[in-house]
Amino acid sequence: MKKTEHRVFKMEFASVAVIAFSVFLSLFVNYLSFQNTQTALRIAAQDAAQTAAGVEQRPEEYVQLSDPLLVLVNDRVSLPENWSVTPRMIDDEQVDLRAYQELSEMFAAAAEDDVWFWVVSGYRSVEQQEIVLERAIRENLKNGLSQEEAEADALRTVARPGYSEHHTGLAVDLNDVSDDFEESKAYQWLSDHAAEYGFVQRYQKDKVEITGIDRESWHYRYVGKKHAREMKRLNFCLEEYVEYLKKQGVQ
């Protein structure tokens, strides 16, 4: 190879190397930026959860009833440390074995009335709940809310990790997870028949101050047939019902 050609070759090689390095550096910087964003969102979710806790009631300060179907998990009471779930698949989600049979029977009965249900969300681990909260915060940030506003708004409808009913495996989100579900034939069917299969609408519009969660027409909780019928008769949410039983001496 002639010297001139060799020099040109080295220059071209050097140029390619510089371009390749620049591309690599750009990709690396973008990757770091993505990782930093994910870390920031995770920290934000954790901070939001801690802020929402306020003066946090320790799990040991709350005495659960002996009936596991009445386990109470809300923004003040965390999932009991000894809680275990025996998962069963329904649709593409998992629920606890204790709720599986009646849930399946309820779906079958509704289908006979030309009403169809599917589980959008069932059992969630604490780690999965963190992801759900992060996603809600991220969506709020995209909509122009400040960090503080995004966190506060997310926590109106998403429980902080460790304090979600979905950890129990006894709660399900059904069909369209939107306010429109309340206007559907499916919601009316649930209002009429859910208690017959042991399910109650967990978060109702007139109980927000008690439950700490905005109305969710799609969120149903399994408490067993006896308790569901009684809760419906009394128009009690789970917090009210548990307190009612405790005052009667039930342990």
pLDDT of res. 45: 47
pLDDT of res. 154: 92
pLDDT of res. 246: 98
**pLDDT tens profile 80-102:** 999 999 999 999 999 999 999 99
pLDDT of res. 159: 87
Q: What is the DSSP string of 90-151?
A: ETTEEEEHHHHHHHHHHHHHHHHTT----EEE----HHHHHHHHHHHHHHHHHTT--HHHHH
**pLDDT tens profile 18-57:** 444 454 445 443 443 444 444 444 444 444 444 444 334 4
pLDDT of res. 77: 96
Which positions are catalytic? 216
Which backbone phi and psi does 217 adopt, to 5 degrees?
A: -70, -15
Q: Percentage of the chain surpassing pLDDT 90?
A: 71
Q: Distance between alpha carbon 114 and the CA centroid of its chain, in Å?
A: 29
Q: Which CATH number fits domain 3-247: 3.40.50.150, 3.30.1490.190, 3.30.1380.10, 3.10.20.30?
A: 3.30.1380.10
pLDDT of res. 227: 98
Q: Which residues of the chain have pLDDT under 70?
A: 1-60
